[in-house]
Chain A
Amino acid sequence: MTAAGDTALGLYLAVPFCRSKCTYCNFASQVFAPARYAEYCELLARELALAAADGLAGATLTSIYWGGGTPTLLPAAGFARILQAIGDHFTLAPGLEHTVEAAPGTLPPERLDALAAGGVNRLSLGVQSFADAELRAVVRLHRAATARDDLARARAAGIANLNLDLIAGLPHQTESSWQATLDAALEAEVAHVSVYMLEVDDDSRLGAEVLASGSRYHAAAVPGDDFIAAAYELACERLEAAGIRQYEISNFARPGGESRHNLGYWLRRPYLGAGLDAHSFLTAPRPRRFANPDTLEAYLAPLRAGRLPRSAPTWLTPQAEREERYFLGLRRNAGVGMPHEPDEATQAAAAAQHLADGLLERRHGGIALSAQGRLLANRVLADFLETPLALS
């Protein structure tokens, strides 16, 4: 059963529950009755046991990341049950980064205490905006004041490593409301800020409405791409000036405050994903990616029967690995090494083309996206894929 698997890895725990579904959300998260939370936690704990038995028993966890959904909706008992399973089957690396994503307004004192007691040392708060009109428009249940309050209490509870998520491009966002959001984010003096840009696609109800030129969900008040690009640039500038330096397209941190777990994605370090629609990347004995089902029943049913619910693995070919190194690695400001011929002919050509058009620049003897290149990253990264494509 237990072929030699990865011995050190990150752990991602997906908690798909929300109090309300934000209009821009395209995750496999939903509003489920709290009655279902207990079973979910129980079966997630079972998944961890099964995954450990499948080649990962005793592996050292270098980071734990609870994502969502809204992990802070989990009842204390469920949270404890999962932590228990982690402790039973894995080894925790000394000083590991242990992050929980939280929606402002879901952190009563007892929950904060339970998190801290459970070893959580980093909190990622889904603030999105400090403008109440924008929060209301996308059906966030919290207000700016809630977020400020939560930050203060998290610190009081001993969780000092804090991240704020912000979204450029929310409906009704204006230059001055965005400035105000950035002001508030800087005043919070957090270690880490993530700045996302609103994604308009058919996977969210707001995105679909924008594409259909409709008016529901405040779609008509979504700012255009030019505004979003300018807002993003402004955020980069102001965060940098405050010593919060960009290290990835959407991520900014004070020195040492980078998210180790998320860095693992771009550096292609192994991680195990557990929970609904969670994705995994394991490297030993051979690199492969697989994912759990993205509907609750399809995820739970196999676990009830004592089986892992994951998809068949996609084994990465040398080509796929080569492509990933570039399209993931280039997301980091540190960039990647210069591609070399003849093994990396496609990548060398792409590098040459985009060094010439200014979307890439040289960095530390390698290449990295330029400021304009970060905003046009899809165009650059697509050119690092080879023809014929590795997967499709």
Chain B
Amino acid sequence: MDRQFIRNFSIVAHIDHGKSTLADRLLEATGALTAREMQHQVLDAMDLERERGITIKAHAVRLDYRARDGRQYQLNLIDTPGHVDFSYEVSRSLAACEGALLVVDAAQGVEAQTVANAYLAVNQHLEVIPVINKVDLPSADPARVKEQIENVIGLDASHAVLASAKTGLGTEDVLEAIVHRIPPPAGDAEAPLQALLFDSWFDPYRGVIILVRVVQGRLRVGQKIRLMSNRETFAVEALAVRTPKTVPVETLSAGEVGLIVANIKRVADAQIGDTVTDEAAPASAPLAGFEEIKPMVFAGLYPVETDQHTELREALEKLRLNDSSFFFEPESSAALGFGFRCGFLGLLHMEIVQERLEREFNLDLIVTAPGVRYLVEKRDGERLEVNNPEKLPPPGDIAVIEEPIITATIIANDDALGGILKLCEDKRGVQKGFEYLGPARVMLTYELPLNEVVLDFYDKLKTVSRGYASLDYHLSGYRASDLVKLDILVAGDPVDALSIILHRDNAFERGRALAAKMKELIPRQQFEVPIQAAIGGKVIARETVRAVRKDVLAKCYGGDITRKRKLLEKQKEGKKRMKRLGKVEIPQDAFLAVLKVEQ
């Protein structure tokens, strides 16, 4: 198709502002799917995505649209992940587009991810079309939202489209805006091939499938291609577009979006952001913006049943086929046995991986408290990266520890301001910006240590703002800090899986809170169980779980043995979810106690 009639666009929004519903509406309006075929939120294909109402993987769908000008257009909708953990993927998806719809809830207005996503789009030089969604809500206030978009993001909102993805109101206006306001793709179909790889996934029948935007040149079936970052070469077996049914095509030319099947074995070979070129006539340089994705959050994953170690490894390998952004390596814990240290893009990513392991692979897991990657310089000059508290050298050997710092954007109502400022201060935040977005809406910018954020920052932010604050962040660097390792001892023995690294100023209070929480979480046992918190061998807090005195079913019940058996079976099942450390049985969730501590 003539490039003049192609539009590549993406939809970005804060969570729950209606991105997926709008996408469904566009599919329906262009006849990609009939209303009867529509399953709500077609694009969020994974169960987890539907349940959580978020998009984890990117998708691309080609829509055929006959515009009011009578011409036929090819609209490529590139759906992006919708969570801060996946902002690199978002940026690559946006790089495949010329324009973006910025969906903003007409009642809630601009939120933190609205701002973050809008900036990502603006920085990619995309044409951003504000779409004010849910205008049918009684509390909708489009005028105020327009004002926020102009004041906060600096976009002209005078031509914002008013829509209700739920009722279908404004859908055609959105389509017309895409056609008339987003520029057609540039790029020379005759130039050497450069195609941006913006997603890949593993298909059990066809190997890795990659999703690309051809920036210049042409892809054709049978062509030899090369991935420019790792110089791996493959032969194109098939090309296809999604409508959203998969339709094979012979070629994909500059400006177009589609799938490549090329017998690629591992997702790790097809990294997001990489450039696909022609092996015989390669482009002189890759497309800008490729980064190796580095995990930011780390935790130990252990099977509850030690004999499930092999199953866990196999499950992790299978998951990694489809998600190259998490990493794992074997580690062992005196308390938990053999497991894996895993790295994730963020907390949500960690939860998703854990949930998929439990759900799809039927594994019972213990997850240790999430931490971050520290840079340690030892007195002897050696430098190391530490992502497991157990690997932290003894305090005497450490010259400097640096911790990752993020820049966080928080948008909230100003009545919650006091609580939020205090929270940021408790979490060692440094204020970098403070701006009123409207009469009662505030945007704060903070530099915060990531290790404070991964523990419980987001939950607490939700609490102090009664759910009305939104948060977005990106890594902004490393900073030296006075960090120590806090150990928890159960029945006199340190439980390595419970150790955390934290700032010295917080260690005492958190140690006390953690010991108290462990006391709550560890059920009474046959013996009294002392719990201690210690820093470098010095005990800073102590609690005791008293011994259980009675756990017995006394009655005869006229020979009702089944009742007795059921009770014992329940007890046995409960025990399976406990980890035995020496003589003490510790429930799985106690290993996440550090997340549950109230301060």
A262-318 contacts to B, CB under 8 A, are: 262, 265, 271, 273, 277-281, 289, 291, 314
**Across the interface, do A291 and B572 meet the contact criterion of CB distance under 8 Å?**
no
Question: In the bound complex, what is the Cα–Cα distance between A392 and B557 (angstroms)?
Answer: 20
Distance in Å from the Cβ of B548 to the closest Cβ of chain A?
7
Distance in Å from the Cβ of A26 to the closest Cβ of chain B?
8
- Residues in B with CB closer than 8 Å to A377 are 551-553
Pick from A281, A379, A387 the residue with the most CB of B within 10 Å.
A379
Question: In the bound complex, what is the Cα–Cα distance between A92 and B340 (angstroms)?
Answer: 67
- Residues in A with CB closer than 8 Å to B565 are 323-324, 327, 385, 391
**Across the interface, do B561 and A199 meet the contact criterion of CB distance under 8 Å?**
no
- Residues in A with CB closer than 8 Å to B549 are 225-226, 228-230, 375
Contact of A381 (CB < 8 Å), options: B526, B566, B568, B583: B568
Contact of A262 (CB < 8 Å), options: B553, B556, B562, B569: B556
Determine if B39 is an interface residue (Cβ-Cβ < 8 Å).
no
**Across the interface, do A359 and B560 meet the contact criterion of CB distance under 8 Å?**
no
Q: Contacts A281-B561, A357-B583 hold; do A375 and B550 have CB atoms under 8 A apart? A: yes
- Residues in B with CB closer than 8 Å to A389 are 569, 572
**Across the interface, do A359 and B526 meet the contact criterion of CB distance under 8 Å?**
yes
- Residues in B with CB closer than 8 Å to A230 are 549
Determine if A378 is an interface residue (Cβ-Cβ < 8 Å).
yes
Question: In the bound complex, what is the Cα–Cα distance between A372 and B547 (angstroms)?
Answer: 11
Contact of B550 (CB < 8 Å), options: A14, A27, A323, A376: A376
Distance in Å from the Cβ of A125 to the closest Cβ of chain B?
15
**Across the interface, do A273 and B583 meet the contact criterion of CB distance under 8 Å?**
no
Closest chain A residue to B574, Cβ basis: A382
**Across the interface, do A357 and B526 meet the contact criterion of CB distance under 8 Å?**
yes
Determine if A383 is an interface residue (Cβ-Cβ < 8 Å).
yes
B562-581 contacts to A, CB under 8 A, are: 562, 564-569, 571-572, 575-576
**Across the interface, do B548 and A385 meet the contact criterion of CB distance under 8 Å?**
no
Question: In the bound complex, what is the Cα–Cα distance between A258 and B562 (angstroms)?
Answer: 24
Question: In the bound complex, what is the Cα–Cα distance between A225 and B565 (angstroms)?
Answer: 22
Contact of B559 (CB < 8 Å), options: A232, A271, A372: A271
Determine if A178 is an interface residue (Cβ-Cβ < 8 Å).
no
Closest chain B residue to A228, Cβ basis: B550
Contact of A199 (CB < 8 Å), options: B548, B555, B562: B555
- Residues in A with CB closer than 8 Å to B559 are 12, 265, 271, 273, 278-281
Chain A interface residues (CB < 8 Å from chain B): 12, 14, 27, 65, 67, 195-197, 199, 225-226, 228-230, 232, 249-250, 262, 265, 271, 273, 277-281, 289, 291, 314, 323-324, 327-328, 357, 359, 372, 374-379, 381-383, 385, 387, 389, 391-392
Chain B interface residues (CB < 8 Å from chain A): 526, 548-562, 564-569, 571-572, 575-576, 583
Some 26 contacts from A to B, beta carbons below 8 A apart, are A67-B558, A196-B555, A199-B554, A225-B548, A250-B554, A250-B556, A273-B558, A277-B558, A278-B558, A279-B559, A314-B562, A323-B565, A324-B561, A327-B564, A372-B526, A375-B549, A375-B551, A376-B526, A377-B551, A377-B553, A378-B551, A378-B571, A379-B526, A383-B575, A385-B568, A385-B569
